[in-house]
């Protein structure tokens, strides 16, 4: 594949592998994963690519002193990035519009996302003081609202206009910012702009279809899912028509979105929703489940696998292979072996990787 010619490649900290060819990046990711899992018998490590750039459907940038971008690893200041080759075309257009408006503040983080239907969402993770000033001065937020949905602060509060014309922020609003699959059809997922989603609609379509295909083959009766988020893997996991699923999620706003998504699909009879910190020891009886579907944050599943794990299969998706390696060691000791191991390259030009793995219990 042709190298990606990014004019910021020597300064921007966003793409820490961009100075290597894509082939070298691929080989390095495979070697890193193999080294982390060195003591295990591994299947062939597959590498699923979606191209070298243009994948991202959401971005997280910082605004600092009129620069919109990411830290420069040379100056340690924010490098202005008018163009980022990692963005999808529609996300780049949304960034252009955001930049034109120039926020009247000196510093803050922001997220922009574009839905599969090309709606635009902005999350301004600014200080409370800045939010208050922007609400009072109105013009900037009114102009931004003309372009897309606006959310502010850590509690994802939605911007609205009072009948008096004043601006306020209130309850989070849930829109269809991403999609997954259920019964081989694409379905929209409700969330806030600031909720966690996978970074790209393109790679996520591949991931969710893979989960659906695995679950169709495995035919689990009872699934336990750790880290359900807004339900991205939950619905494809129900591919086998008789299966039931217990969904574990810690984050309050993701859990609210998950609840709404389950309701809107009418799947309340098949999905048991539980909110809590399931990295700590729990009263869940893991031996009741014949499939575990694990998609933790970087810190892994904690104590969850320390209980009585007897499921036939485990699907483990991880954006942090170091914790996947630790849990693989533990699962090996319990008699599980890796059947499939796939690097899903949804972070090209970086050293980050998403790993999708399937373990089965060796019954001897
Ligand atoms: C990598 S995200 C995956 C979300 C979802 N599966 C998806 O594909 O969009 C990890 C999820 O684990 C949740 N999580 C983190 N710590 C948790 C805990 N202690 N107990 C339950 N869920 C947790 C996070 O809130 C987040 O939604």
Torsion angle, alpha carbons of 61, 64, 67, 72, to 10: -70
Q: Whose CA is nearest to atom 17 of ligand 1?
A: 250
Is the pLDDT at 71 greater than 80? The verdict is yes
Pocket flag, ligand 1, residue 297 (CB < 6 Å): yes
The rounded distance, in Å, linking the Cα atoms of 133 and 127 is 10
Separation of 48 CA from ligand 1 center, angstroms? 23
Mean pLDDT of 29-36: 97
**End-to-end Cα distance, the chain:** 45
- Going from the Cα of 192 to the center of ligand 1, the distance in angstroms, rounded, reads 15
* Max CA pair span of the chain: 73
| Segment 190-218 mean pLDDT | 98
Domain regions of the chain by residue span: 22-52+196-361, 58-175
Verify whether ligand 1 is closer than 6 Å to residue 227 (CB atom).
Answer: yes
Ligand 1 centroid – CA 251 distance (Å) = 7
Report the DSSP pairing between strands 336-345 and 354-361. antiparallel
pLDDT for position 363: 75
Between 24 and 308, name the one with better pLDDT: 24
Tokens coding 144 = 């931004």
Write out pLDDT tens, residues 51-67.
999 999 999 999 998 99
Residue nearest to atom 16 of ligand 1 (CA): 250
Q: Which of the residues are catalytic?
A: 319
- The preferred substitution site among 181, 232, 250, 355 for testing ligand 1, maximizing ligand atoms within 8 Å of CB, is 250
CB 235 within 8 A of CB 262: no
Taking alpha carbons only, the member of 339, 220, 215 closest to residue 290 is: 220
Q: Name the pLDDT band for 306 (thresholds 50, 70, 90).
A: confident
Nearest 5°: phi and psi at 229? 55, -130
- pLDDT at 20 exceeding the cut of 70: yes
| Sheet with strand 67-71: strands edge to edge | 78-80, 67-71, 58-64, 107-114, 120-125, 149-152, 157-161, 167-170
- Higher pLDDT: 2 or 28? It is 28
Short-list 361, 233, 222, 343, CA closest to 294: 233
Using DSSP, state whether 354 is helix, strand or coil. strand
- Check residue 131 and give its pLDDT: 96
Token representation of residue 179:
């999609």
What pLDDT, in 10s, does the model give residues 265-300? Answer: 999 999 999 999 999 977 899 999 999 999 999 999
C-alpha 295 – ligand 1 centre gap (Å): 6
Superfamily of domain 22-52+196-361 in the CATH hierarchy: Vaccinia Virus protein VP39 (3.40.50.150)
Following DSSP, what letter does each residue of 242-294 receive, concatenated?
A: T-EEEEEE--HHHHHHHHHHHHHTT-TTTEEEEES-TTS--S--GGG-SEEEE
Model confidence band, residue 175 (pLDDT cutoffs 50, 70, 90): very high
Helices (H) and strands (E) in the chain, counts: 8, 18
User: Given this model, what pLDDT does residue 242 score?
Assistant: 87
pLDDT for the residue numbered 5: 87
C-alpha dihedral over 256, 259, 261, 263, to 10 degrees?
-140
pLDDT for the residue 76: 87
Question: Which CATH code is given to the segment(s) 58-175?
Answer: 2.40.50
Which of 280, 297, 299, 353 most suits a substitution to test ligand 1, by most atoms within 8 Å of the C-beta? 297
**C-beta of residue 330 within 8 angstroms of C-beta of residue 8:** no
Indicate if ligand 1 lies below 6 Å from the C-beta of 277: yes
**Ligand 1 centroid – CA 199 distance (Å):** 15
**Confidence grade of residue 2 (pLDDT, cut at 50, 70, 90):** low
Q: Specify whether the CB–CB gap between 86 and 56 falls below 8 A.
A: yes
Strands 120-125 and 107-114: antiparallel
Answer yes or no: is pLDDT of 201 > 60.
yes
- Cβ–ligand 1 contact at 233 (below 6 Å): yes
Tokens found for residue 261: 């998504």
Q: Looking at residue 203, what is its pLDDT?
A: 98
Residue 157 and residue 167 in contact, taking contact as beta carbons nearer than 8 Å: no
Instruction: Share the mean pLDDT of the chain.
Output: 95
């Amino acid at each position: 594949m042709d190298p990606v010619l990014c004019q910021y490649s020597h300064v921007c900290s966003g793409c820490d592998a961009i100075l290597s060819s894509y082939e070298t990046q691929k080989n390095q990711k495979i070697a890193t994963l193999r080294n982390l899992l060195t003591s295990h018998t591994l299947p062939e490590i597959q590498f699923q690519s979606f191209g070298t750039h243009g994948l991202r459907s959401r971005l997280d940038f910082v605004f600092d002193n009129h620069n919109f971008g990411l830290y420069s690893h040379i100056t340690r200041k924010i490098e202005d990035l008018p163009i980022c080759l990692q963005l999808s075309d529609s996300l780049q257009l949304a960034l252009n519009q955001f930049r034109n408006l120039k926020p009247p503040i000196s510093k803050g983080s922001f997220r922009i996302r574009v839905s599969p239907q090309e709606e635009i969402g902005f999350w301004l993770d600014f200080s409370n003081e800045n939010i208050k000033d922007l609400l009072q001065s109105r013009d900037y937020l009114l102009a931004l609202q003309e372009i897309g949905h606006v959310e502010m602060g850590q509690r994802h509060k939605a911007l609205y206009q009072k009948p008096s014309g004043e601006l306020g922020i209130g309850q989070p609003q849930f829109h269809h910012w991403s999609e997954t699959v259920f019964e081989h059809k694409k379905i929209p997922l409700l969330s806030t702009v600031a909720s966690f989603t996978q970074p790209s609609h393109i790679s996520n379509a591949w991931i969710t279809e893979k989960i659906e295909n695995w679950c169709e083959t495995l035919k689990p009766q009872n699934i336990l899912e750790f880290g359900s988020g807004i339900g991205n893997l939950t619905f494809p996991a129900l591919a086998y028509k008789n299966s039931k699923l217990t969904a574990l999620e810690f984050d309050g706003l993701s859990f609210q979105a998950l609840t709404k998504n389950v309701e809107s699909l009418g799947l309340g009879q098949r999905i048991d929703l539980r909110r809590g910190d399931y990295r700590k020891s729990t009263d869940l009886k893991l031996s009741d489940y014949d499939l575990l579907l694990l998609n933790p944050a970087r810190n892994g599943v904690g104590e969850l696998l320390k209980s009585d794990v007897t499921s036939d299969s485990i699907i483990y998706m991880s954006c942090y292979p170091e914790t996947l390696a630790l849990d693989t060691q533990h699962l090996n000791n319990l008699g599980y072996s890796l059947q499939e191991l796939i690097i899903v390259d949804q972070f090209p030009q970086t050293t980050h990787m998403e790993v999708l793995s399937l373990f089965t219990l060796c019954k001897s």
